[in-house]
Amino acid sequence: MKIKKQELIISIIIGIMFCVLTIIIFVQSKTISYTDINALENMQETELRKEITAIKTKYTEALEQLEETNAMIKEYEETINTDKEASVLLESELEKSRNILGKNTVQGEGIIVTLVDVEVGKYGKITANDLIELVNELRAAGAEAISINGNRIVNISYIVDLSETYIGVNGERIVSPYEVKAIGDITYLESGLSQKQYGYIDTKVNEGKDVTLEKSDNVVINAYSGTLSFKYAKEVE
Amino acid sequence: MLKNKNVAIILGIVCFILVIAIFTQVKTVNDMENSVGTTLSGNSDLIDEVLSEQEKYNKLYEQLEKAEEKLEEVRTEATAGNQEATEAEQELKENNMLLGLTEVKGEGIIINLDDNRNVESDEINISQYLVHEEDLLHVVNELFNAEAEAISINEHRVTNITAIRCDGNIIRVNGQVITVPITIKAICSKAIYNTLIRPGGYLQLMVDAGVVVKIERSDEIVIPKYNGVYSDAHLTRGDE
C-alpha cells in the first residue's frame, strides 16, 4: 500500500514536468510564428528599403519619447526631494493625454478635405467607405487629430451609411458637404493624399467624386462629445 | 490497480500532446529555414538589416517600457497624500488605458480570416477569395460600430493613429507587416456575435465572396498594448 502511494506521487511529478515542458514548447512555437520572417522573404528590394526607413523612423520617435520620459522622471524626483508641488507636472502630462485622446478641443497646422455629393443620393455620392478610407489615409500620413463635420474621430469611432442621404459618425447623423479636418505636419498630410493618379484625391476624382484639399495654419478640432470609458475591457496587471 | 491505470492514461495523453507539439515546432523551423534558403542569393543583406534594425528598436522599446514603469512609480510617490493629484493620476491612468497603452482583457469575439486556397489558380476573380486591407478596415469599423472597446489584428493593437495599408501584396498594420491567416480580436459584449453574422453584414459578404471566415465567442481575450508612441508635436489645446 505504501509503495503504491509513492508510485502515484512520482507519476504526478512526472506528469507535471511533462505539462511544463509542453507549455514551454507551445510558447516557443508561438514566438516563432509571430516573427514575420515569411513576409520579409516575399518582399522586393525597394520594399525592404522602405521597411528599414520605417523602422528607423519608429526608432527615432521612441528615442524622443524615452528622453521625454526620463526628463519627467527627473522632474518628479525633484519634487519629491524638495517638497515642491507635483501637480503642475501632472497637469501637463494629463493635458497631453487629453489632447491626443480627444477629450480636449485642439488646434494646430493641418489640412481640411471637403467632399461634396455631386448629385444628392445619386451620381458622385460620397459614401461611408470614402470617409473610412480618408481617415485611414490621414492616419497613415501622421494625423494627430481628425474630425468629420465637427465630430472628433477617436479610437472607438465608426462611420456607416445610414441612407441615400445620411452618413453616421460616432452615432451622429451627418450630411454632405463633408468637412474632414486633420492636424499634423502639413507637408506629410498633403503629399500623403495628393500622390498623382494613385493618391486618395486623384482616385476619388477619377471615380467622379468632388474632393478638394485646403491647407491651413490653424485648424481647430472639437473635443469628442460622447463619454470615453470601458465596460468590458479591464487592465491586465 | 485502477489508479495506476488512470495515471498511465494521463501520462499517455501528455506524451501524445508533447510529441505533436515537437513535430509542429520542428516543421515550423524547417519551413522557415527552407524559405530563408531560397532567397539567400537575393536580398539577404537587406533582410538582415531589417531584422537588426527591428532588434535595435525592440531593445529601445524595452528601455522605454522600463522608463514608463519608473515614471509611474515616481509619479505615485510624488502625488501621495494629495487628494487632487491622486485623482489626476487616476485619470491619466485611465486615459492611457483608453489610448491602448496598456494590455487589456475581457470577454469578446475572435475572428479568423484566411485566403481561400481551394480555388483553382485559373479562376478569373481570384482576388475575391483573398483577404485585403479594405476588408480589415471594414471589419474593424463594424466591430467599433458594435461597441467594441479594444481591437488587435495579429497582435497589433488598433489605436486612434493606426493605419491599415496595402503595399503591393503586403498588408501593414501600425507600419508592421502582417500575413494571412489574420486573427482579429475584439473586447466587447459577446452578444454582438449575432450582429456580426447577420445576412448583409460585412463578414457575411466576405463568406459569400469565398474568403475563409471563422468567428467565435470567448470569455477572456487578452489584447496587447500599442507598441509605438503617440506624437502631439502639432497639437496645442484650443478654446472650447
ipTM associated with this complex: 0.77
Per-range mean pLDDT, top range of A84-98, A136-150, B66-80:
A136-150
Q: Are residues A115 and A211 in the same domain?
A: yes
> Is residue B38 very low, low, confident or very high in pLDDT (cuts 50, 70, 90)?
very low
pLDDT tens digits, one per residue of B98-144: 999 999 999 999 999 988 877 776 666 777 788 888 999 999 999 99
Residue A195 CB partners (closer than 8 Å, separation 6+): A202
B215 occurs within a structural domain: yes
Start-to-end CA span in chain B (Å)? 78
Interface A-B: count of C-beta contacts within 8 A: 303
pLDDT tens digits, one per residue of B9-21: 887 887 788 778 7
> Is residue A134 very low, low, confident or very high in pLDDT (cuts 50, 70, 90)?
very high
Residue A87, pLDDT score? 79
Evaluate whether B224 touches B157 at the Cβ level (below 8 Å). yes
Q: Are residues B86 and B148 in the same domain?
A: no
Contact B222 A133 (CB under 8 A): no
Task: Output Rg (C-alpha) for chain A, integer angstroms.
Answer: 26
Domain enclosing residue B110, as ranges: 104-223
B128 occurs within a structural domain: yes
The residue of chain A nearest to residue B147, with distances taken between CA atoms, is A156
A chain contacts of residue B228, beta-carbon cutoff 8 Å: 58, 61-62
Instruction: Please count the structural domains in chain A.
Output: 3
Q: Are residues B80 and B113 in the same domain?
A: no
Domain enclosing residue A139, as ranges: 106-221
Residue B55 CB partners (closer than 8 Å, separation 6+): none
Phi-psi region of B62 (alpha: psi -120 to 50; beta: other; left: phi over 0): alpha
Contact A108 B35 (CB under 8 A): no
B205 occurs within a structural domain: yes
Q: Are residues B112 and B198 in the same domain?
A: yes
Transcribe A160-198 into DSSP letters: EE-SSS-EEETTEEE-SSEEEEEES-HHHHHHHH--TTT
Enter the pTM of the model: 0.78
Q: Are residues A78 and A151 in the same domain?
A: no
Euclidean distance between CA atoms A59 and A64, whole angstroms: 9
B213 occurs within a structural domain: yes
Per-range mean pLDDT, top range of A7-11, A73-77, B113-117, B190-194:
B190-194
Instruction: Please count the structural domains in chain B.
Output: 2
A chain contacts of residue B173, beta-carbon cutoff 8 Å: none
pLDDT tens digits, one per residue of A33-65: 445 566 677 777 888 888 888 888 889 888 988
